[in-house]
Amino acid sequence: MKEIVLFVDKVIDRLNPEQVKQMLDTLEKAYRSGHKVLVMGAGRSGLVGRAFAMRLMHLGFNVYVLGETITPSIGKDDVVVAISGSGRTKLIVTATEAAKKVNATIIAVTSYPDSPLGQLADIVVEIPGRTKMAPDIDYFARQILGIHEPLAPLGTLFEDTALVFLDGVVVELMHRLGKSEADLRAKHANIEL
Amino acid sequence: MKEIVLFVDKVIDRLNPEQVKQMLDTLEKAYRSGHKVLVMGAGRSGLVGRAFAMRLMHLGFNVYVLGETITPSIGKDDVVVAISGSGRTKLIVTATEAAKKVNATIIAVTSYPDSPLGQLADIVVEIPGRTKMAPDIDYFARQILGIHEPLAPLGTLFEDTALVFLDGVVVELMHRLGKSEADLRAKHANIEL
Amino acid sequence: MKEIVLFVDKVIDRLNPEQVKQMLDTLEKAYRSGHKVLVMGAGRSGLVGRAFAMRLMHLGFNVYVLGETITPSIGKDDVVVAISGSGRTKLIVTATEAAKKVNATIIAVTSYPDSPLGQLADIVVEIPGRTKMAPDIDYFARQILGIHEPLAPLGTLFEDTALVFLDGVVVELMHRLGKSEADLRAKHANIEL
Amino acid sequence: MKEIVLFVDKVIDRLNPEQVKQMLDTLEKAYRSGHKVLVMGAGRSGLVGRAFAMRLMHLGFNVYVLGETITPSIGKDDVVVAISGSGRTKLIVTATEAAKKVNATIIAVTSYPDSPLGQLADIVVEIPGRTKMAPDIDYFARQILGIHEPLAPLGTLFEDTALVFLDGVVVELMHRLGKSEADLRAKHANIEL
């Protein structure tokens, strides 16, 4: 477990501040204009996306999750946040292409800026994970942590780092939008299954 | 299959028009005032509820589904549609009690108006299903159809009838709100998983 | 509402018994061999699929739903049930192509046997709905019911008919597998959200 | 973001090794005997639970998530993992009571061992989060990190720590069960929405 934390810590240090600022600016603008934010991801990246979407809802965003019941159509000026470590998850790429066609602004959270998802995106936030290309090598573990054995299977390191990163985005949005924790609590579901 | 259709047909004939009118009036008022509608059900009744919620979204309602990611808090003047054949599903009764405490208006769709759910509700639409009390007897099959063998297991007949009933509610709301099919299509998710 | 029931009734009459038999045989074989069944659909068709999957689980099938948390990989000899009125829903077609590559057996439930989904499938059960091509014409309503106004918006008639049809499949599987309602109840979730 | 990582790191240091061992032993036994594991949580804790359940599935566990379509009944010798920071989430407590009645083994992951959930559990893994009792005080932030301003809203710190902790559990289970990353990849959904 300590190794996962260490990995997350190192990756957070390496985030590109300009990329993060672009994401924050775009989300703040969507909030102030009332435009929709659609969050999408497959598998565990989709769960991380839902955790982020729930907080955006608590902040008062007009936010939806791909694949849930009441997700409406989106259009120009709406924002898509697409989460995929590899940037190659076929159905996320397909959905992003559809979002691109209606001129939504695409924010990609991925380990691979030059992946199909990265190339479709208007804004890319790069979150290094273990390489998908040579998973046995644990490229990033070696390069970043200087250790030589697998840390956690499959996309775990990307997913855990993405959750912490997106929760940091939420804290920053609270400051920008002047929201207190009590504001969030007021929007939190009071009837919860 | 024919027997299921025959059952649904007989039950639709027996709907109480005054109950249906109250439900329609309450939903129309929520639409016009912009108040929230929260749809809830467990198991297959929950799936029927989601199918209904999706159409309410297409109609432009401010609608949510219990248990999904972006479901917010609700309050006074908001409307809850709770679906439970037996009216005894513990978690739906618990959730309805919570909704009652914040003074939401409760519409129950159930086979048992005198069940815990029925008694909590402001409006009850009774949709007879097979009795839950003596499921081996297939009470309603006998009484309504005059046949003496099981038609479909567990809550099937309630669930199928509830779906057709709620789709009828959608058609009636289209007329009341002056919505065409093209209006619904415009809201239909254009990026669909 | 009566019109929806009438439509469902007419469509059930027109089902192709050979197609239905092939679907039943394939599902029975999957049950007896313990192979997996993966159910998939988008939007309301996906909800109908989940309602069907829940009953297959009650019957003791090794069944999964595309997009849910614990859905595993599938392979040769596994069965996919893909539900799409138009047979063109992009993500269902994409997923079916992936299933085809691993040599799963594909059962399509669709209004269009000659659609992309229909052409990928090993077995097609045709369930006529309103035409997607000329929705204003309500082709099937005219042709089947002899009436000349829209019955229900978008894919409603396909979805409602598909639910009743699949519940009929469940009843037939109960007979074939010698399962009683008590058997199903024993598998029904006893801790339900 | 750094503060979230620092918090997670400190909490991981404070985990009770005996509690973690009990959880690992119980899960290993469920794997070896083929008994079911049912994972449950509400809101963001539920999403963390799903991310954990997905990895248990990849490991070959017979695992289910409360509230999903194909979740079956559970009984004696089955294991429930209930995740709730406060240990007071009403519906999780209700569901845990139901699981207790059928004599399932309950593992609680919570910040409050003396909460209703903690008291129902056979095994408690305590993961300190911010206190729910006096959220404005940020008790744990002060006590653990020595800082005096809010770190992240609502249950964020519990949820992020729980995800990292449970991913650590997965790594340890891989070792105990002799599973390689390739084993997990073989079970990973190959048709993913």
Looking at chain C, which subunits does it touch, using at least 3 CB pairs closer than 8 Å as the criterion? Answer: A, B, D
Radius of gyration, CA atoms only, chain B: 17
Domain assignment present for residue A193? The answer is: no
Tokens of residue B105, six digits: 């208006």
* CA B178 – CA B184 distance, rounded (Å): 11
- The per-residue pLDDT string of chain A (193 residues; one tens digit each, 9 = 90 and over) reads 788 888 888 888 889 999 999 999 999 999 999 999 999 999 999 999 999 999 999 999 999 999 999 999 999 999 999 999 999 998 899 899 999 999 999 999 999 999 999 999 999 999 988 654 344 335 555 555 555 445 688 889 899 999 999 999 999 999 999 998 889 988 888 886 4
SS (H, E, C) C129-185: CCCCCCCCCCHHHHHHHCCCCCCCCCCHHHHHHHHHHHHHHHHHHHHHHCCCHHHHH
Return the half-sphere exposure (C-beta side, CA atoms, 13 A cut-off) of residue C116: 12
Q: Which of chain A's residues have a Cβ under 8 Å away from the Cβ of C91?
A: 91, 94-95
Which of C11, C164, C173 to mutate to test binding with chain B, by most B CBs within 10 Å of its CB?
C164
Domain assignment present for residue A175? The answer is: yes
Q: State whether residue D142 sits within 8 Å of chain A by CB.
A: no
Tokens 């995740």 found at: D83
Q: Which of chain C's residues have a Cβ under 8 Å away from the Cβ of A90?
A: 94, 98
Tokens of residue A95, six digits: 């959905």
**What is the pLDDT, as a whole number, of residue D132?**
39
**What is the pLDDT, as a whole number, of residue D8?**
86
**What is the pLDDT, as a whole number, of residue C162?**
95
* Closest approach of B54 to chain A, Cα-based (Å): 5
Q: State whether residue D186 sits within 8 Å of chain C by CB.
A: yes
Domain assignment present for residue A84? The answer is: yes
What is the CATH classification number for the domain harbouring B136?
3.40.50.10490
Domain assignment present for residue D81? The answer is: yes
Q: Which of D159, D172, D181, D192 is catalytic?
A: D159
Instruction: Indicate whether C136 pLDDT > 80.
Output: no
Contact A122, A106 (CB under 8 A): yes
Domain assignment present for residue C192? The answer is: no
- D69-110 pLDDT, tens digit each: 999 999 999 999 999 999 999 889 989 999 999 999 999 999
* CA D116 – CA D89 distance, rounded (Å): 9
Instruction: Indicate whether D140 pLDDT > 80.
Output: no
Mean pLDDT score of chain D, rounded to an integer? 88
pTM summary value:
0.90
Kindly give the pairing relationship between strand D105-110 and strand D62-65.
unpaired
**Burial class (CB within 10 angstroms; exposed 0-12, middle 13-18, buried 19+) of C178:** exposed
Contact C120, C80 (CB under 8 A): no
* CA C51 – CA B159 distance, rounded (Å): 9
CB contact under 8 A, C91 and D193: yes
**What is the pLDDT, as a whole number, of residue A7?**
83
**Burial class (CB within 10 angstroms; exposed 0-12, middle 13-18, buried 19+) of A66:** buried
Domain that holds residue D75: 1-182
Give the sheet arrangement for strand B36-41, strand by strand: B62-65, B36-41, B79-83, B105-110, B123-126
- C97-130 pLDDT, tens digit each: 999 999 999 999 999 999 999 999 999 999 988 6
* CA B109 – CA B127 distance, rounded (Å): 7
* Closest approach of B35 to chain C, Cα-based (Å): 24
Taking chain B (193 residues) in consecutive chunks of 10 residues, what is each chunk's mean pLDDT? 83 91 98 97 96 96 95 94 94 92 97 96 91 44 52 86 94 92 89 64
Q: Which of chain A's residues have a Cβ under 8 Å away from the Cβ of C95?
A: 91
Verify whether residue D159 is a known catalytic residue. Answer: yes
Return the half-sphere exposure (C-beta side, CA atoms, 13 A cut-off) of residue B136: 3
* Distance set, CA A57 to CA A38, A50, A170, B184, C144 (Å): 11, 10, 11, 24, 46
Please report the DSSP string for D73-101 in residue order. Answer: ---TT-EEEEE-SSS--HHHHHHHHHHHH
- C48-75 pLDDT, tens digit each: 999 999 999 999 999 999 999 999 999 9
* Closest approach of D116 to chain C, Cα-based (Å): 18
**What is the pLDDT, as a whole number, of residue A33?**
97
**What is the pLDDT, as a whole number, of residue A55?**
96
3 state SS of B5: helix
Domain assignment present for residue D20? The answer is: yes
Contact B100, B92 (CB under 8 A): no
Instruction: Indicate whether C134 pLDDT > 50.
Output: no
* CA B114 – CA B101 distance, rounded (Å): 20
- A78-121 pLDDT, tens digit each: 999 999 999 999 889 989 999 999 999 999 999 999 999 999 99
* D68-95 CB burial, b ≥16 within 10 A, e <16: bbbbbbbeeebbbbbbbbbbebbbbbbb
**What is the pLDDT, as a whole number, of residue A17?**
94
For B5, the closest of C9, C153, C171 (CB atoms) is C9
CB contact under 8 A, A1 and D168: yes
Domain assignment present for residue A163? The answer is: yes
* CA C11 – CA C164 distance, rounded (Å): 11
CB contact under 8 A, A54 and D44: yes
**What average pLDDT does range D32-55 have in this prediction?**
97
CB contact under 8 A, A69 and B73: no
**What is the pLDDT, as a whole number, of residue D190?**
85
Q: Which of B3, B97, B159, B192 is catalytic?
A: B159
CB contact under 8 A, A69 and B54: yes
**What is the pLDDT, as a whole number, of residue D9?**
86
D59: nearest CA in chain A?
Answer: A153
Indicate the pLDDT class of residue D136, thresholds 50, 70 and 90: very low
Domain assignment present for residue A135? The answer is: yes
* Closest approach of D109 to chain B, Cα-based (Å): 20
Tokens of residue D134, six digits: 């006096």
Q: Which of chain B's residues have a Cβ under 8 Å away from the Cβ of A78?
A: none
**What is the pLDDT, as a whole number, of residue D145?**
52
CB contact under 8 A, A43 and D58: no
Q: Which of chain A's residues have a Cβ under 8 Å away from the Cβ of D8?
A: 5, 8, 164
Which of B164, B169, B180 to mutate to test binding with chain C, by most C CBs within 10 Å of its CB?
B164
CB contact under 8 A, A167 and D4: yes
Q: State whether residue B94 sits within 8 Å of chain D by CB.
A: yes
**What is the pLDDT, as a whole number, of residue C11?**
85
* Closest approach of C142 to chain D, Cα-based (Å): 36
Q: Which of A97, A159, A181, A192 is catalytic?
A: A159
**What is the pLDDT, as a whole number, of residue C153?**
85
CB contact under 8 A, C58 and B154: yes
Which of A57, A66, A70, A103 to mutate to test binding with chain B, by most B CBs within 10 Å of its CB?
A70
**What is the pLDDT, as a whole number, of residue A23?**
98
Q: How many domains does chain D have?
A: 1
* Closest approach of C38 to chain D, Cα-based (Å): 10
CB pairs under 8 A between A and D: 133
Q: State whether residue C189 sits within 8 Å of chain A by CB.
A: no
Higher pLDDT, B149 or C90: C90
